Amino acid sequence: MPLTKLRILTHRMSGAERRFRLRTMVAISSLPLFGVVAAFGLAPDTNTLDITPEIITEALALPALTNSSGTGTFERESVVQSGDTLNHTLSRLKIDDLEIQRLLGTDAVRELASSIRAGKRIQATTTQEGQLVSIKFERNDAPALTIRKQGDSFITEESSDLLETRVVMRSGRILSSLYGATDSAGIPDKIADRMAETFSTSLDFREDLRRGDTFSVIYTVNYRNGEPVSAGQLLAAEYVNAGKPYRAVLYRDPLGREAYYTPEGESLKKGFLRSPLEFSRVTSSFSNSRKHPVYGFHRAHTGVDFGAPTGTRVKATGDAVVKFAGRKGGYGNLVILRHSNGYETYYAHLSKFAAGLRSGSPVSQGQVIAYVGSTGASTGPHLHYEVRIAGRPQNPMAIKLPGAPPLATAQRARFMEQTSNWSDKLALLRGTNLAALD
Ligand SMILES: [Zn+2]
């Protein structure tokens, strides 16, 4: 009805009407008002733990009419219910109708109206007469939006992103494959990968996996404005293989380096990776005598050749310091790494070096140091890899590779302080979940 609407729009409230409106507000506010507050059953920091990220809904008495410290303004909150329009939600805030209409007419609010989701909160500050001072909208996957009244117009302000890390615990049982089980438990691939990698020193997930094996993981999830955005870190894990448990906890040393250990403090890191390439095949093995493909005569092959396309990333097989990075005869572009205990590794025929790599630079295990090529005495792109112990070439595929050094005694107290909580939670999770799964 356009006529009625026009009348409302041009209507000015008298003093008596204003008082009446205020009395109505006070009367309404004295009724027991209930609102629904949604909260994630998860804590916003890594020290607290919750089992499942479910939404807990509870009825709360809302401070319906709060006089903010003598400024003559009132604050109310309204939560979007399922099936609500923005208009409905706003009407519960006791804002002047005309103001609501004007607010709904702004670009920012029009945009919000189409995407508003149940559970989001809207907080309004009004004058005693219901005139809007400011209103704050929680949004989906975006920082809260505040709209302030300034004279006859509205000003929008975006809050900064609310970033949180939450801890999640999950368990599963293997029915067919590791990823089948982690998928059905809702565990991100990144976390599943990390678990497989962490236990790979003691378990081969392609060979050793058994139907009925169980696992538990504790990991972080990064949230932005209340929405999960990415998987964070694996904090602790347990894998029970054919009845034998394997456990891992993440430890950060005083220098900020992170690594996985057993709850007893034994390193789970391999001292050396078996191969410096992720995907490759051995095209020529270590041998004491073979016919050289370029020189033609028989001589020892002092390393292993891995066939891989030019540009494939070459990784340091262990923590080390760069001893040499440059061109050297038949090796072509060569990197030599010096490790502890007299170990050295050679990476030859490289197309190029990683940016910033120079002699004396420290490198960590798995760090990309160069790229596969065919420089020097080479007939096609491949990586020639050598391991030397006290200067003598050894067969990298056959030697027993040393483990990572154990945790220093001086760090035991720090280690326990950081990890015992996760170890306890793993034990707790095992007790609860296995009972539930059986
Ligand atoms: Zn070779």
State how far the Cα of 352 lies from the Cα of 44, in Å rounded to an integer.
Answer: 44
Distance 291 CA to ligand 1 centre (A): 11
The SS3 call for residue 29 is helix
CA of 385 to the centre of ligand 1 (A): 7
* Inside any domain, residue 200: yes
The pLDDT of residue 293: 66
* Domain annotation covers residue 33: no
Q: Output the CA 383–ligand 1 centroid distance in Å.
A: 7
* CATH code of residue 75: 3.10.450.350
Ligand 1: distance of its center to the CA of 242 in Å? 40
Tell me how far the alpha carbon of residue 283 lies from the centroid of ligand 1, in angstroms.
9
Rounded distance from Cα 58 to ligand 1 centre (Å): 68
Residue 402 CA to ligand 1 center (angstroms) comes to 23
Looking at the structure, tell me whether residues 286 and 389 fall in a common domain: yes
Ligand 1 centroid – CA 388 distance (Å): 14
Distance 162 CA to ligand 1 centre (A): 53
Total number of domains in the chain: 3
Q: State the Cα angle at 223 between 222 and 229, rounded to 5°.
A: 75
Which of 158, 191, 225 finishes a domain? 158
Nearest 10 degrees: CA dihedral of 12, 14, 20, 23?
90
Is the pTM higher than 0.85? no
Boundary-marking domain end, from 139, 158, 177? 158
Give the distance (Å) from ligand 1 centre to CA of residue 315. Answer: 17
CA of 278 to the centre of ligand 1 (A): 18
Based on the domain organization, do 285 and 380 belong to the same domain? yes
Neighbours of ion ligand 1 (CB under 5 A): 305, 384
Same domain, 426 and 389: no
DSSP 240-289: EETTEEEEEEEEE-TTS-EEEE-TTS-B-SBSS-S-SSSS-EEEE--EEE
3-state secondary structure of 183: helix
348 Cα–ligand 1 center, Å? 8
Residues 34, 61: contact at Cβ < 8 Å?
yes
Q: State which residues form the domain around 121.
A: 62-158
Task: Report whether 81 contacts 92 (CB < 8 A).
Answer: no
Instruction: Please state, as a whole number, how many other Cβ atoms lie within 10 Å of the Cβ of residue 276.
Output: 29
Cβ–Cβ < 8 Å for 371, 312? yes
Which of 158, 188, 206 represents a domain boundary (last residue)? Answer: 158
Query: Quick one: pLDDT at residue 376?
Result: 92
- The answer to the question of residue 343 being in a domain is yes
**Ligand 1 centre and the CA of 206: distance in Å?**
29
316 Cα to the center of ligand 1, angstroms? 17
Q: How far is the CA of 293 from the centre of ligand 1 (A)?
A: 10
Q: How far is the CA of 401 from the centre of ligand 1 (A)?
A: 20
On whether both 69 and 115 belong to a single domain, the answer is yes
Reference 388, options 338, 333, 335, 354; nearest CA is 338
393 C-alpha vs ligand 1 centroid, how far in Å?
Answer: 12
pLDDT at res. 1: 34
Shared-domain flag, residues 182 and 243? yes
Task: Assign 3-class secondary structure to 94-107.
Answer: CCCHHHHHHHHCCH
Provide the residue-wise pLDDT of the chain in tens; the chain has 438 residues: 333 332 332 233 333 333 333 332 332 222 222 222 222 333 333 333 333 333 322 323 333 344 444 567 888 888 888 888 888 888 888 888 888 888 888 888 888 887 778 888 898 998 888 888 999 988 877 788 899 988 888 888 887 777 888 888 898 888 888 888 888 888 999 999 899 888 877 777 767 888 889 999 999 998 887 778 899 999 999 999 999 999 999 999 888 888 899 999 888 877 788 788 876 677 777 877 666 666 666 567 889 999 899 999 999 998 899 999 999 999 999 999 999 888 999 999 999 999 999 999 999 888 999 999 999 998 899 999 999 999 999 888 877 777 777 788 889 999 999 999 898 888 888 766 554 444
Q: Are residues 188 and 228 in the same domain?
A: yes
